[in-house]
Amino acid sequence: MISTTAKKQIDNWIAKYPTDRKSSAVMEALKIVQAENENSLTPEAIQAVADYLDMPGISVAEVATFYENYNHRPVGKHTIRFCHNISCMLNGSDDLIAHLEKKLGVKTGEVTKDGLINVKKVECLGACVGAPMFQIGDQYYENLTADKIDEIVDGLK
Amino acid sequence: MADIEIEIDGNIINAKAGEMLIAVTDREGISVPRFCYHKKLSIAANCRMCLVDVEGAPKPQPACSTPISDGMKIHTQNDKAKASQKAVMEFLLINHPLDCPICDQGGECELQDVAMDHGSDVSRFTEGKRIVADSDIGALIQTDMTRCIHCTRCVRFGAEVAGIMEMGGTGRGEDMKIEPFLAEGIQSELSGNMIDVCPVGALTSKPFRYELRSWQMNAVSNVARHDLVGSNIYTQTYKGRVKRIVAKDNESVNETWISDRDRFSYEGLSHENRLLVPKIKVEGAWQEVEWNVALDFAVRGLEKNVRQADQLGALSSNTATLEEFYLLQKILRGTGSENIDHRLNVKDIDNTISLESNIKLAGLEGVDHALVIGSNLRLEQPMINHRLRKASLSGASIDVINAMAFDFNYRINSENIIAPNQTALTLASILKSVLKSAHTEVPEYLGNAEVTEIATQLANQLTDSDNSVIILGEHVINNPQALSISNLISEIAQKTNSTILNVSATANSMAAGLAHFVPGKGGLDVNAMLAANLNAYILLDIYPQYDFHHSVQAIEALSNDDTFVISLNSFKDDVVSEYSDVLLPIASFYETSGSHVNVEGKVQSFTAAVNAPSDAKPAWKVLKVLADLLELPGFHYADSMQVTSEIMHKSYKQHVHDENIDITVKRGVNVIWQKSPYAVDVLSRHAVSLQDTKIGQINSASMNKATAKKLEITQGDNYLGVPVSISESVANSCVFVNANHAIRGQS
Ligand code: SF4
Ligand code: FES
Ligand code: FES
């Protein structure tokens, strides 16, 4: 389940912690395994990480489901992380998410048919000054409007 | 213990510095509401229900995680405390479905009780509530996760007590839920305790689903008889039936926990297979008759068939009560026969384990080293294993000598997989190493034992530990060198100052010893009886195909045409009806008064929680009447307690055993035959939900490839009627049979 390269990378992380604290590497290990599995984690992948780090499967699942940066269903080439926390919500994120869903023809969590885009609702990304906002890859897009969204999304390849 | 003084609600209280506040209030009987705190689990402090006002602290403090210090002034009832408790209660109820009318926990729910005391009667919450999907976690526990308040007691129970973390909190915030990972069902042998620790109706008993309200039932204190612990329980009954079993606290026996076997075996009581009416066999045909007719028939049968006193034999299963063992042996000895035995599963009585335990259950927690020999302790004696696990968690190192690798739920220092025919030799080399390093003379019988590296290691562990215990388990009873093994163990224990825990016998067999239910001078043991073709037998709750080691010979001997067999049974069984001449229906667990004797020799008496169904009667009464009809003196008992006190006034000299030690390796394939954990006795075999669990499904004859080749069998074949499973975790030349002869059907 976990490739040799990935194991090597995980071992690097394990080495950074005391020998009896292998489990400290769990977040990085999940990230590495997710990266080599089309950016999402199946239960088998979670179990594999658990086995590799000598942890109960459920403990790893707890971590993997706690953080938003782990995916548990297939994702598109681009993930749009749409903030729906308080500032963005007050500035109309709900309507904009609805607009985006309609434009893409998918609900949040689903992937467009061409496998290009999926939308994920996330909590505050620390960019409240520019609310409403979303993130694609490393890029923040702020002060969103329906038109602006159309333009950004149309530009995605 | 009065280290410091603190003031709670105006009263001065003495306590130890550093204790958690809630431990003090609990001890003093001051009520502080709580959900996540549990005295046997780590402190999570996540529910915030236990907030109290501590003078000087700006905010209310959680009593469960606030260590006390000298002069602290605490208010559990002032406005600040009460307001916080009320606020937390309201917060917890926001997402709670408040479906008490259809909730099994209703009436025994901590949430309900605390809400009554600290909640508000009207909800201000008008928004939608969250709903959580249930997970199917197996046959024993029903989940209704929308009711969960995320106290994480079940999670901590799994991680800390059961030793298998199965439940966990996934997701976050609004989406958090408590669930297992992968819907495989819960595996732990202690899983039912999660029902007890869950403060709400999220985890409830599946077999008990929608049966009754807790206040409709009577709770009777009782003792479970499936293993050597005698866990204390409450049998909860309704209209003469046991409806549920929950744990009863007894720190020195089972603490707060019970095994799933003890909790769910009661289902067997109402199985359709119960034997309900006395029957006699007249000219080969069974007739249902009144008790007096059946007993009369039995007595006449004995008179006619037993021409010489030593032509009568008595055998009993190991689940009988102390009083039943005692009365049956008294009848036999009264008639002049010494043919008495309960060690049905022993191949050769003269060559089996004879070893006395000298450590208390609670003492097991304090050992710093244990050597486990021949036991899958976790599944065989769950509560004893739990004590050992505690020792392990506090640093004890545990070594194992087994014929197969098992799943222990704690760290094993060294797991030595050794073929049964090498066990004696291995112990001999341990002993030799011990003697050598103490510079004592090595006796001749150890001559050719080579001191191996493993032996030295194990010997050093035993010698260097201040408080070491050697635990000898069930797998050794039929080892061709069982007697030598147990003699070697006593030697090693003596030389290394270790204690001994003998868990090789099961259920209530300690009581058989106390009641002297073994052959006396001139008497025959079980195997000798069967070989001697006796004229008559009295059999107490025996199911020969499961109980005897030599089951084929046993059935043959009992089926002899001129053998008169009186069977006292709690369940119907075809083989039993085949060979018996009289069938007397007797009470099962919880239907009779009596006593259990546990591994440390503690005698625990119990009363009947319910009457036996239909015409079945407690066996002690049946035996008493039988004795009266046989006109034997000394059977004037009004209740079973009188029998108990008579036993307590006697003491029997323990058998003196021969000290012979033989360490030569015997060639050949060794079979370790064992009933699987949920098929150990007739009641658990009939407990339907237990059979549907992972552990209930254990049914395999395990051996490695080489052994399979030698026996000319492959995966998928049957060996001794049990499916073969090839695994390299079994020692060479050994077949480990874990047989489950569960009986399906309605209960
Ligand atoms: S299921 Fe019960 S014990 Fe487990 S976290 Fe929820 S409320 Fe607590
Ligand atoms: S609430 Fe959206 S970025 Fe802070
Ligand atoms: S009992 Fe103290 S926080 Fe839960």
Q: List the CATH number of the domain containing B437.
A: 3.40.228.10
Question: Is the pTM higher than 0.90?
Answer: yes
Residue A77 has a pLDDT of 92
Domain final position from B93, B112, B129: B93
| Exposure b/e, A127-157, CB count within 10 A at least 16 = b | bbebbbbbbbeeeebbebeeeebeebbeeee
Q: Which CATH number covers residue B311?
A: 3.40.50.740
- The minimum-distance atom of ligand 1 relative to the CA of B145 is 1
Residue B746 has a pLDDT of 63
| Exposure b/e, B55-72, CB count within 10 A at least 16 = b | eeeeebbbbbbbebeeeb
Q: Any idea which ligand is nearest the CA of B114?
A: 3
Residue of A nearest to B180 (CA): A58
Which positions in chain A have a beta carbon within 8 angstroms of at least one beta carbon in chain B? Answer: 43, 46-47, 56-62, 65-66
| Cβ-nearest to B182 among A43, A62, A66 | A43
CA B158 to ligand 1 center in whole angstroms: 12
CA B544 to ligand 3 center in whole angstroms: 53
B395: domain range?
A: 362-502
CA-to-CA dists, residue B169 to A131, B156, B166, B208, B293, angstroms: 32, 11, 10, 26, 63
**Choosing among B154, B157, B164, B170, which should be mutated to test the A contact, i.e. which has the most A CBs within 10 A?**
B170
Residue B745 has a pLDDT of 63
Q: Which residues contact B704 (CB under 8 A, 6 or more apart)?
A: B726, B727, B728, B729, B730, B731, B732
Please write the tens of the pLDDT for every residue from B287-319. 999 999 999 999 999 999 999 999 999 999 999
CA B143 to ligand 1 center in whole angstroms: 10
Enumerate the residues of chain B whose CB falls inside 8 A of the CB of residue A57: 181-182
Contact assignment for A58 to B164 by CB distance below 8 Å: no
Residue to mutate (ligand 2; options A81, A82, A83; most atoms within 8 A of CB): A83
Q: How many whole angstroms separate alpha carbon B16 and alpha carbon B18?
A: 6
Q: Are B315 and B328 in contact (CB under 8 A)?
A: no
Residues B633 and B677 in one domain: no
Q: Are B343 and B525 in contact (CB under 8 A)?
A: yes
CA B37 to ligand 1 center in whole angstroms: 12
Residues B547 and B642 in one domain: yes
Contact assignment for A56 to B159 by CB distance below 8 Å: yes
Please give, rounded to a whole number of angstroms, the shortest distance from the CA of A148 to a CA of chain B: 31
Res. B332: pLDDT tops 90: yes
Q: Any idea which ligand is nearest the CA of A121?
A: 2
Q: How many whole angstroms separate alpha carbon B330 and alpha carbon B638?
A: 16
CB count in 10 Å sphere of residue B651: 9
Confidence of residue B236 (pLDDT cuts 50, 70, 90): very high
CA-to-CA dists, residue B677 to A145, B189, B384, B724, angstroms: 65, 9, 14, 18
Res. B655: pLDDT tops 60: no
Residue to mutate (ligand 3; options B20, B25, B34; most atoms within 8 A of CB): B34
CA A66 to ligand 3 center in whole angstroms: 22
Please give, rounded to a whole number of angstroms, the shortest distance from the CA of B172 to a CA of chain A: 5
Which residues have CB under 6 Å of ligand 3? B 34-37, 45-50, 62, 64
Contact assignment for A66 to B172 by CB distance below 8 Å: yes
Please give, rounded to a whole number of angstroms, the shortest distance from the CA of A43 to a CA of chain B: 7
Q: Is residue B535 part of a domain?
A: yes
Whole-number average pLDDT of chain B: 94
H helices then E strands: how many in chain A? 7, 4
Mean pLDDT of B367-371: 98
Residues B456 and B561 in one domain: no
Only one residue has tokens 């409007």, namely A145
Amino acid type, A43: P
Residue A157 has a pLDDT of 86
A4-66 carries CATH number 1.10.1060: no
Contact assignment for A65 to B180 by CB distance below 8 Å: no
Please write the tens of the pLDDT for every residue from B702-722. 999 999 999 999 888 888 889
Tokens of B289: 């008759």
Confidence of residue B122 (pLDDT cuts 50, 70, 90): confident
Q: Is residue B105 part of a domain?
A: no
Q: How many whole angstroms separate alpha carbon A147 and alpha carbon B673?
A: 76
Please give, rounded to a whole number of angstroms, the shortest distance from the CA of B166 to a CA of chain A: 7
Residues B529 and B497 in one domain: no
Residue of B nearest to A55 (CA): B165
What residues in chain A have per-residue pLDDT under 50?
A: none
Enumerate the residues of chain B whose CB falls inside 8 A of the CB of residue A109: none
Nearest CA to ligand 1 atom 4: B154
Residue B743 has a pLDDT of 67
DSSP state of B162: I
Domain final position from B614, B648, B682: B648
Beta strands in B640-694 (DSSP E): 670-675
Residues B377 and B487 in one domain: yes
Q: How many whole angstroms separate alpha carbon B366 and alpha carbon B39?
A: 19
Domain final position from B615, B648, B681: B648
Please give, rounded to a whole number of angstroms, the shortest distance from the CA of B23 to a CA of chain A: 29
A78-154 carries CATH number 3.40.30.10: yes
Q: Are B319 and B225 in contact (CB under 8 A)?
A: yes
Q: Which CATH number covers residue B59?
A: 3.10.20.740
Nearest CA to ligand 1 atom 2: B198
Mean pLDDT of B79-108: 94
In percent, how much of chain B has pLDDT > 70? 98
Which residues have CB under 6 Å of ligand 1? B 148-154, 178, 197-200, 202-203
Q: Is residue B217 part of a domain?
A: no
Confidence of residue B141 (pLDDT cuts 50, 70, 90): very high
CA B518 to ligand 3 center in whole angstroms: 54
Residue B661 has a pLDDT of 87
CA B96 to ligand 2 center in whole angstroms: 29
Q: How many whole angstroms separate alpha carbon B14 and alpha carbon B3?
A: 7
Mean pLDDT of B218-228: 96
Please write the tens of the pLDDT for every residue from B585-643. 999 999 999 999 999 999 999 999 999 999 999 999 999 999 999 999 999 999 999 99
Residue to mutate (ligand 1; options B46, B95, B149, B161; most atoms within 8 A of CB): B149
CA-to-CA dists, residue B630 to A123, B292, B439, angstroms: 84, 13, 62
Contact assignment for B168 to A47 by CB distance below 8 Å: no
Beta strands in B182-337 (DSSP E): 203-205, 218-223, 232-238, 241-247, 279-282, 285-288, 312-316
Enumerate the residues of chain B whose CB falls inside 8 A of the CB of residue A41: none
Which positions in chain B have a beta carbon within 8 angstroms of at least one beta carbon in chain A? Answer: 159, 164-172, 180-182
Mean pLDDT of B83-92: 94
CA B142 to ligand 1 center in whole angstroms: 12
Residue B496 has a pLDDT of 96
Contact assignment for B166 to A58 by CB distance below 8 Å: yes
Instruction: Kindly provide the ipTM of the predicted complex, given to two decimals.
Output: 0.86
Please give, rounded to a whole number of angstroms, the shortest distance from the CA of A66 to a CA of chain B: 5
Residue of A nearest to B176 (CA): A66
- The minimum-distance atom of ligand 1 relative to the CA of B149 is 7
Residues B491 and B535 in one domain: no
Residue B281 has a pLDDT of 97
Q: How many whole angstroms separate alpha carbon B720 and alpha carbon B700?
A: 10
Report which of B684, B727, B741, B536 is spatially closest to residue B224, judged by C-alpha positions.
Answer: B684
Q: Which residues contact A3 (CB under 8 A, 6 or more apart)?
A: A36
More confident residue, B653 or B164: B164
DSSP state of B274: B
Please write the tens of the pLDDT for every residue from B539-564. 999 999 999 999 999 999 999 988 99
CA-to-CA dists, residue B685 to B543, B602, B617, angstroms: 11, 27, 21
Residues B549 and B491 in one domain: no
User: Can you give the residue ranges of every domain in chain A?
Assistant: 4-66, 78-154
Residue B656 has a pLDDT of 57
- The minimum-distance atom of ligand 2 relative to the CA of A93 is 2
Contact assignment for A46 to B165 by CB distance below 8 Å: no
Residue to mutate (ligand 2; options A87, A91, A129, A134; most atoms within 8 A of CB): A87
CA B158 to ligand 3 center in whole angstroms: 19
Sign of CA dihedral B539, B544, B549, B552: positive
Res. B667: pLDDT tops 70: yes
- How many domains does chain B contain in total? 4
Residues B413 and B496 in one domain: yes
Residue B716 has a pLDDT of 82
